[in-house]
């Protein structure tokens, strides 16, 4: 990542308490609490609006007038069976949560359609850390997998999806896991991309951008083979590519 391009905004604040290190956006959070990262806290005040299950549980939170998403960082693959959520600590700025938090801050400053970062937490051990991230929730939005199980998305929307991905690529934003679960449409037809864990800023060179698109195409084919009602077709991919190339 080109760190020179990602300048820490003045509203980024630090909270520290022993082995706990947090960053939060003071322009969004007027009063910060480390309890924000505790699902039990939100459950105790009846503020959990819903959950989603993947590697772990993601919590959808109501905080005053805002809607937040709280996620814990979990390992995947074989190593995740042995070590579910601990990462080797080499400095706060190198942690997955801080990197994603700051990349989101930068993308918001570039008017890219992503969730707004609220806060992140690093809980340090002797040589390892665990991490959490809170972002804004994209309201009234569904991911493409959910939509394509009941609806047919028109060509104009597919072209818009391609144009949106191109905006990220033109700004040098690499998404480590661009798939159809991470592309959202809201009820106004606006397109958002989420989950930038291990994402970074890169110099646009064509190779990684194509790898991103190849990964996305594989995800559509995977869901097509997995879900009997999935309405995706190759012609829609051509429309997406048309929008991307425009």
Nearest to 186 by CA among 129, 142, 231: 142
How far is CA 14 from each of CA 22, 54, 91, 219, rounded to the nearest angstrom? 6, 29, 15, 38
The active-site residue, picked from 132, 177, 195, 197, is 177
Beta bridge partners, 129, equal 87, 124
Cβ atoms of 208 and 214 within 8 Å: the answer is no
DSSP 244: H
Respond yes or no: is residue 177 known to be catalytic: yes
| DSSP string covering 174-193 | E-TT--TTSEEEETT--EEE
Catalytic residues: 177
């Amino acid at each position: 990542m080109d760190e020179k391009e990602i300048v820490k905004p003045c509203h980024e604040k630090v909270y520290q308490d022993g082995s706990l290190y947090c960053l939060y956006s003071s322009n969004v959070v007027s009063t910060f609490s480390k309890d924000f990262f505790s699902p039990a806290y939100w459950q105790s005040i009846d503020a959990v609006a819903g959950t989603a299950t993947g590697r772990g549980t993601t919590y959808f939170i109501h905080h005053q007038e805002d809607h937040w998403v709280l996620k814990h960082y979990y390992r995947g693959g074989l190593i995740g069976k042995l070590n579910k959520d601990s990462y080797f600590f080499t400095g706060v700025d190198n942690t997955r949560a801080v990197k994603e938090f700051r990349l989101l801050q930068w993308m918001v400053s570039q008017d890219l359609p992503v969730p707004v970062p609220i806060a992140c937490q690093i809980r340090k051990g002797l040589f390892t850390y665990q991490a959490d991230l809170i972002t804004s929730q994209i309201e009234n939005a569904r991911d493409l997998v959910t939509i394509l199980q009941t609806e047919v998305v028109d060509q104009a929307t597919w072209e818009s999806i391609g144009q949106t991905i191109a905006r990220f690529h033109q700004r040098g934003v690499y998404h480590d896991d661009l798939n159809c679960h991470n592309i959202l449409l809201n009820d106004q037809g606006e397109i958002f991309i989420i989950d930038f864990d291990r994402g970074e800023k890169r110099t646009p060179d064509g190779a990684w951008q194509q790898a991103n698109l190849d990964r996305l195409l594989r995800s559509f084919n995977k869901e097509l083979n997995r879900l009997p009602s999935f309405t995706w077709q190759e012609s829609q991919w051509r429309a997406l590519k048309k929008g991307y190339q425009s």
